[in-house]
Amino acid sequence: MTLIVQKYGGTSVADPDRIHAVADNVAITKKRGNDVIVVVSAMGKATDNLISLADQVAKKQSGREMDMLLTTGERQTAALLTMALADRGIDAISYTGSQVGIITDTAHRKAKIIEVKGDRVRNSLAEGKVCVIAGFQGVSTDKEVTTMGRGASDLTASALAQAMGADSCEIYTDVTGVFTADPRIVPQARKLAKVHFDEMLEMAGAGSKVLAMRSVEFARNHDVPLHVRSAFTWEPGTLVSNEEPSVEDPIISGVVTDMTEAKVTVLGVPDKPGISAALFEPLAAANVNVDMIVQNTSTEGRTDISFTMPMADLDEATSIVQQVAAEIGAETVTHDNDIAKLSLVGAGMKSSPGIAAKMFRVLADEDVNIQMISTSTIRVSIIIPAGDMERAARALHTAFDLDSGADYSAPLPTRK
Amino acid sequence: MTLIVQKYGGTSVADPDRIHAVADNVAITKKRGNDVIVVVSAMGKATDNLISLADQVAKKQSGREMDMLLTTGERQTAALLTMALADRGIDAISYTGSQVGIITDTAHRKAKIIEVKGDRVRNSLAEGKVCVIAGFQGVSTDKEVTTMGRGASDLTASALAQAMGADSCEIYTDVTGVFTADPRIVPQARKLAKVHFDEMLEMAGAGSKVLAMRSVEFARNHDVPLHVRSAFTWEPGTLVSNEEPSVEDPIISGVVTDMTEAKVTVLGVPDKPGISAALFEPLAAANVNVDMIVQNTSTEGRTDISFTMPMADLDEATSIVQQVAAEIGAETVTHDNDIAKLSLVGAGMKSSPGIAAKMFRVLADEDVNIQMISTSTIRVSIIIPAGDMERAARALHTAFDLDSGADYSAPLPTRK
């Protein structure tokens, strides 16, 4: 018997019509002779609405109580989908994260999975039942309800697929897969048939919203291939796995764009040990999520340090940095929220030198001024003015042959 | 230390403003030096909305899945109120029915409480915390989430008050207490300072919606006095207890009116053993909630049987009864949904003969035709035409001295 894990995100189960559509797909999968575990998110904006309610009743909220509150959204979807399945003659049963035995540590709102027991799921599957599981949640080692952070329903799905030895893990969402670029920005963007875990991780880090970074990390570490696909068109999507790219594969898999960050620059920083720590420790303590950091070689004992962070954190970051700058004797602090981050990601970079150089040449030809550069083995990220972002992304997409119709699609796991 | 249980119904916690008001009252109660357990219902129409969603995704719903779905409403309120308390500097913690150890049988949607363990509540109280508990729910002996029927949050409160040895149990609702009649129908209706459990039971059975019958039954059987009061005006309400009425108390406590029932009459029923069973067994099997049953002494071997039931069940009841009537050789079946039930309730009836006679005289003088009569030790109920109901209720209210301002209010338990 083939065991398939299917995860449906919030937009996929946003209303009764969507739940009917999802129930149809689960029923088909089951009737084809598969064992099925379904993981669901909260319906549409349910979680946002709960957070808004919490904001209206209390200025600050304890993690424990937020977890008690937010876990109800996924439980509602799980019960509703289970009823819709029963109506289709499918024997199904819903479980909370706690009932499944998803044991986490005690860090509310960002708990880490310690163990997936899964006894009740195993028994129910043996009885021929479809198990519908509330995503995003578990129970801590001290018996409290926990959640694992936004987007963690993907993590629930990967963890269950691994613990139950599933044959495939399908992540249903509102896009048809992973694209070479955001089609709203680069019209000629194409869906990728396959992506390596490492590429997906870099894409997530670069701002792609298709899969949450933690879920990809878990799937990679436990080698759980994820099939990202649409719950609206049901067409084959993108397989995210550890399959190494072949020589025929393009060097670059995608251009990732991100308009959600802002930049702070500290000018004239005395170049001596401990300066970076003095700057970034208070930011970390204030939970400012610093992304790119660039520091240049100093001239005349002084250097400039720039970093980016989510735009929402800009005011707090600026006020912290201004205080620190005064203490360490830096000259001045500037900030800019009119920026875009643009990244090239491709596993092929490892064996293809000169990608960054070509990227800079393309942008120079487009008259795009690069403000910051940061690289990893398979990624080059730059910060450019926001107004240049579309032009730059399209030019790079073309220059790196992502427009072409070259057929390099890998065979997808067969639907059984 | 005084232990107070407070229960807040759906309208009392319907929105963030209401939750703030409730949090203020809980905080005051705690700051006065009491231990406090709070039981909450789902916010406003939350439960109705979930039921509507369930209706939209499935034609029939299993009890287990409905319980998984519906228990989320109370959990949300509990978490939100706990946050609002923390914001007021009150150390509070929310618990689900399952976490509290409210152990029930396995009858989903109408589970009965077997035991209240309450260990976590006891520990939290000992740590000085306010415990905020999701009402209406428990966990069954086979580890499934259960609910105990609509209005069962009152039951949760009574059961906790009993298990924890609370000094008082306050039921906060959207009315200021138990009235001598529905003020919308009888403008001169007055709030009662006290009501005996038996009277409250009869009132609930007669159609009063202030407290659910099961909750009153539990409170009576375990002698947990309930203080019914308003979460909007916060004024002292009605004490429901086993205190016997004194001679100064009026004989009648209230006139209860109910417009939600319909009547079916089977005419010319052969008067032989087994006929009633043949009629009412299939109704029970179809879950038709039969209320009053009246059968007259037979004449010439035939009798008439009338009964009332909720108006929503009328079509089903009529179709069942028509079939049975044909089988048992009854002459004809009629039905009427233009009726009202009117009841006089009063513990004093036991020692005061002639109440029914006086009631009938008052109605005769008002030219109201009585269709059915049914009595218990402390209640007389009649069925009359719906159009006569207001006139009859007002006349009875006046005739039995309920209009008078006679001060017979009992001292309420002191707020500490």
For domain A3-174, say whether CATH 1.10.3720.10 is its number: no
Other C-beta atoms within 10 Å of A333: how many? 19
Residue B303 pLDDT level (bands cut at 50, 70, 90)? confident
CA distance A73 to chain B (A): 8
The closest of A262, A244, A233, A98 to A172, measured between CA atoms, is A233
Percentage of residues of chain B with pLDDT beyond 90: 77
Say yes or no: A100 contacts chain B, CB-CB below 8 A: no
Q: Is a pLDDT exceeding 60 seen at residue B408?
A: no
B354 is in an annotated binding site: no
Instruction: Tell me which residue in A60, A61, A86 faces B62 most closely, judged by beta carbons.
Output: A86
Residues 32-61 of chain B whose Cβ lies under 8 A from any Cβ of chain A:
50, 53-54, 56-61
Task: Pick the range with the lowest mean pLDDT from B256-260, B356-360, B411-415.
Answer: B411-415
The per-residue pLDDT for A405 is: 57
Q: Which of A253, A252, A258, A254 is nearest to A341 (CA)?
A: A258
Residue B105 pLDDT exceeds 80: yes
Q: Which residues of A touch B143 (CB under 8 A)?
A: 99
Percent of chain B with pLDDT over 70: 96
How high is the pLDDT of residue B391? Answer: 96
Q: How confident is the model at residue B296, as a pLDDT?
A: 77
Q: Name the residue among B50, B69, B82 with its Cβ closest to that of A65.
A: B82
The residue-averaged pLDDT of B192-211 equals: 92
Contact present, A292 and A383 (Cβ < 8 Å): yes
What's the pLDDT at A413? 43
Tokens of residue A129, six digits = 């039942």
Check whether B74 is labelled as a binding-site residue.
Answer: yes
CB contact under 8 A, B68 and A83: no
Task: Please tell me the pTM assigned to this model.
Answer: 0.86
B19/A84 Cβ within 8 A: no
Do residues A136 and A148 lie in contact, with contact meaning Cβ atoms separated by under 8 Å? yes
Q: How many CB pairs under 8 A join A and B?
A: 109
ipTM for this prediction: 0.84
List the single residue in A with minimal CA-CA distance to B49.
Answer: A76
Q: What is the pLDDT of residue B33?
A: 96
Q: Is the pLDDT of residue B409 over 50?
A: no
A24 touches chain B (CB under 8 A): no
Searching chain B, which residue's CA lies closest to the CA of residue A63?
Answer: B83
Partners of residue A56 in chain B, C-beta under 8 Å? 16
CA distance A336 to A369: 15
Inter-helix orientation angle A275-285/A314-328, to 10°:
150
Model confidence over A355-408: pLDDT tens digits? 888 999 999 999 999 999 988 889 999 999 999 999 999 999 999 999 865 444
B130 touches chain A (CB under 8 A): no
Contacts of B52 in chain A (CB under 8 A): none
Asked whether the beta carbons of residue A83 and residue B50 sit closer than 8 angstroms, the reply is: no
Give the distance from residue A76's alpha carbon to the nearest chain B alpha carbon, in angstroms.
5
Tens-binned pLDDT, residue by residue, of chain A (416 aa): 899 999 999 999 999 999 999 999 999 999 999 999 999 999 999 999 999 999 999 999 999 999 999 999 999 999 999 999 999 999 999 999 999 999 999 999 999 999 999 999 999 999 999 999 999 999 999 999 999 987 899 999 999 999 999 999 999 999 999 999 999 999 999 999 999 999 999 999 888 889 988 899 999 999 999 999 999 999 999 999 999 877 777 789 999 999 999 999 999 998 888 888 888 999 988 888 888 888 877 778 888 899 999 999 999 999 999 999 999 999 999 999 999 999 999 988 887 888 888 999 999 999 999 999 988 889 999 999 999 999 999 999 999 999 865 444 444 443 33
Residues B62-95: tens digit of each pLDDT: 999 999 999 999 999 999 999 999 999 999 999 9
- The residue ranges of every structural domain in chain A are 3-174
Question: Is the CB of A68 less than 8 angstroms away from the CB of B82?
Answer: yes
Cα separation of B76 and B138, whole Å? Answer: 16
Whether residue B95 is annotated as binding a ligand: the answer is: no
The chain-wide mean pLDDT, for chain B, equals: 92
B260-278 mean pLDDT? 89
pLDDT tens-place string over residues B152-178: 999 999 999 999 999 999 999 999 999
Set of chain B residues whose Cβ sits within 8 Å of the Cβ of A86: 58, 60-62, 65
Identify all chain A residues contacting B94, using CB atoms and an 8 Å cutoff. 65, 68
Q: What angle do CA A8, A13, A15 make, to 5 degrees?
A: 180
Place of tokens 């218990």: B376
